[in-house]
């Protein structure tokens, strides 16, 4: 059994972070490049499997491969140097932001990926706000410097002006975007030049040159890089670890993930700078010591990872103590025991048995049909429960019906599965019945994913009939259900967690009903927690 000091030492070796960005900024490509530099894969795949290469390990769903975008988060655990990396790739599309926000509850830091040509985009801004709200420090990696883009100083100004985050460059590009010569390593003032590889499938070799040699090699580009760094230093851009951890400033690096350029710098800095696991606050606001008895919370549930077995995997972040495979833990939600015989380390779709895990680790619990997103698992006494994860306010609604009524059993099983994973929120009512559940979504692409999975995983094609509702509120008093159901442009449906949702065609329809029934108890649905 690992001692308390041993737990703290192991926790100190963990780095758990998420990669966040707007769609098409290169998250999955960067994730692949990080794994390549850690030597856990021998060659990097490509989104869409371009150029005859395999697809990226973090995009394993068939729909992800076909669309070339991440539609579900993915966990990758691997070792680099003496550090255990728990890397969570997130969907960038706003329609899947609920999944991304849940992932951010399970990490200690984040890498914010910026497109060199586009800078801060709307979804990136939203995700940064979540990081700031949760106190998650952010490192910034400016990607695609091998393509034409904006000025490096202009991108720095945007960080300051739009989100109040001071950039602290640790590498700086030599050569403008689209004419990438290499980077100036701020730590020692050297010039790092890269040798490109075919399609970026393997690690790009690096060569370091002294400042004098760099000036002879890169000329005006080197001189300009040094001058720009001096300007930033004068405006508060020198590195300060405390400002980074406080969320006031961001270490900044430049590169091109598709060519594996600048990625090693990022991986090394994550090991050196990213925060270690710290005591997590429980539902009562009390910190859970890292060396207390085992505890963890479920932030994601996924099925369909193993087509041969269709098993369900619950992803849990270890918060305290030592996890040992086979231990029996308690689910704080149901108060029932849960056996952990089938526990795995996850690397994209690939899985291997894990015998022990420590604070900061992400473990996959297989055959976990009894677990739901937000559940707390713990061993020993006293009991502990961590704050639940939010369900977002849906804005799109559709009635789901199987196109083949003989597949009704498969339909019900599939709908239950999608609801437990949070792919969509599943709503029902006595009026509609279980045969016609309503799918509620943050964005319409969730409907596409739900329909695709029902057809391909459960052999049950469905028809989705869109409903006109655009506004949703929580009905605080179930006795008032008839007031909403009696309206021509509203109805009440019950979510699988027991919450009654009052749905309206639009805000005007809701205000009209409230005018006639001012005592109607409607409450906003949380959008982030």
Is residue 89 marked as binding? yes
Nearest to 70 by CA among 79, 78, 59: 59
> Which position has the token pair 């699988």?
496
What is the Cα 119 distance to its own chain's centre? Answer: 20
Q: Are 312 and 372 in contact (CB under 8 A)?
A: no
What are residue 140's DSSP bridge partners?
A: 112, 252
> CA-CA distance, 183 to 228, in Å (whole number)?
13
Q: Examine residue 382 and say whether the peptide bond preceding it is cis (omega within 30 degrees of 0).
A: yes
Residues in the chain: 529
> CA-CA distance, 108 to 124, in Å (whole number)?
18
Q: Is 340 helix (H, G, I), strand (E, B) or coil?
A: coil
> CA-CA distance, 452 to 492, in Å (whole number)?
27
SS3 content of the chain, % helix, strand, coil (to 5): 30, 30, 40
Is residue 374 marked as binding? no
Q: How far is CA 491 from CA 401, 513, 516, in A?
A: 19, 11, 16
Q: How far is CA 498 from CA 233, 333, 427, 474, 482, in A?
A: 54, 14, 9, 11, 17
Q: How far is CA 515 from CA 22, 287, 496, 510, in A?
A: 40, 45, 30, 9
> CA-CA distance, 225 to 390, in Å (whole number)?
44
Is residue 23 marked as binding? no
> Which position has the token pair 């509203």?
490
What stretch of H or E contains 455? helix 445-458
Q: Are 285 and 332 in contact (CB under 8 A)?
A: no
> Which position has the token pair 């006031």?
248
Is residue 90 marked as binding? yes
> CA-CA distance, 122 to 135, in Å (whole number)?
20
* Residue 99, token pair as written in the block: 């999944």
What are residue 441's DSSP bridge partners?
A: 396
Is residue 92 marked as binding? yes
Half-sphere exposure of 343 (CA within 13 A, CB side): 21
Q: Is 319 left (phi over 0), alpha (psi -120 to 50) or beta?
A: alpha
First to last CA, the chain: 36
* Residue 441, token pair as written in the block: 């979504």
> CA-CA distance, 360 to 204, in Å (whole number)?
30
Q: Is 240 helix (H, G, I), strand (E, B) or coil?
A: coil
Q: Which residues are annotated as a binding site?
A: 89-93
Task: Give the annotated binding-site residues for GTP.
Answer: 89-93
């Amino acid at each position: 059994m690992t001692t308390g000091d041993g737990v703290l030492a192991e926790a100190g070796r963990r780095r758990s972070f998420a990669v966040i960005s707007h769609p098409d900024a290169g998250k999955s490509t960067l994730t692949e490049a990080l794994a390549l530099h850690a030597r856990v894969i021998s060659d990097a795949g490509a989104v869409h499997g371009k150029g005859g290469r395999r697809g990226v390990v973090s995009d394993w769903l068939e729909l992800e491969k076909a669309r070339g975008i991440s539609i579900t988060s993915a966990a990758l655990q691997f070792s680099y140097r003496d550090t255990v990396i728990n890397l969570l790739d997130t969907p960038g599309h706003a329609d899947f932001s609920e999944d991304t926000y849940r992932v951010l509850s399970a990490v200690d830091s984040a890498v914010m990926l910026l497109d060199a040509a586009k800078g801060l985009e709307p979804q990136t801004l939203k995700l940064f706000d979540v990081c700031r709200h949760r106190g998650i420090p952010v490192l910034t990696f400016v990607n695609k410097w091998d393509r034409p883009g904006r000025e490096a100083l202009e991108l720095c100004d945007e960080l300051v002006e739009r989100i109040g985050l001071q950039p602290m460059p640790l590498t700086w590009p030599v050569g403008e975007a689209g004419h990438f010569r290499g980077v100036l390593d701020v730590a020692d003032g050297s010039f790092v030049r890269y040798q490109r590889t075919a399609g970026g499938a393997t690690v790009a070799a690096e060569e370091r040159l002294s400042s004098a040699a760099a000036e002879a090699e890169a000329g005006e580009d080197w001189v300009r890089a040094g001058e720009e760094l001096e300007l930033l230093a004068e405006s508060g851009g020198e590195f300060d670890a405390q400002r980074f951890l406080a969320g006031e400033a961001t270490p900044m690096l430049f590169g091109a993930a598709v060519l594996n350029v600048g990625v090693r710098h990022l991986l090394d800095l994550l090991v050196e700078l990213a925060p270690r696991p710290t005591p997590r606050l429980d539902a009562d606001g009390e910190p859970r010591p890292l060396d207390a008895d085992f505890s963890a919370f479920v932030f994601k549930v996924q099925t369909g990872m193993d087509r041969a077995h269709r098993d369900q995997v619950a992803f849990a972040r270890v918060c305290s103590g030592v996890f040992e495979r086979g231990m029996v833990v308690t689910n704080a939600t149901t108060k029932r025991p849960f056996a952990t015989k089938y526990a795995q380390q996850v690397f994209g779709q690939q899985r291997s048995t894990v015998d022990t895990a420590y604070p900061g680790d992400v473990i996959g619990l297989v055959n976990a049909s009894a677990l739901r997103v937000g559940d707390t698992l713990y061993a020993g006494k006293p009991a502990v429960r961590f704050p639940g994860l939010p369900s977002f306010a849906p804005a799109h609604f559709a009635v789901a019906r199987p196109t083949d009524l003989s597949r009704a059993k498969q339909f019900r099983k599939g709908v239950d599965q999608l609801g437990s994973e949070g792919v969509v929120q599943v709503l029902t009512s006595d009026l509609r019945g279980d045969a016609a559940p309503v799918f509620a979504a943050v964005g319409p692409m969730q409907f596409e994913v739900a329909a695709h999975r029902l057809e391909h995983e459960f052999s049950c094609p469905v028809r989705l009939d869109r409903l006109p509702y655009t506004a949703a509120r929580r009905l605080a008093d179930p006795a008032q259900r008839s007031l909403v159901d009696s309206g021509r442009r509203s109805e009440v449906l019950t979510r699988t967690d027991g919450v009654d949702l009052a749905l309206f065609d639009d805000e005007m329809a809701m205000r009209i009903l409230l005018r006639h029934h001012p005592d109607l108890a409607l409450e906003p649905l949380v959008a982030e927690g």
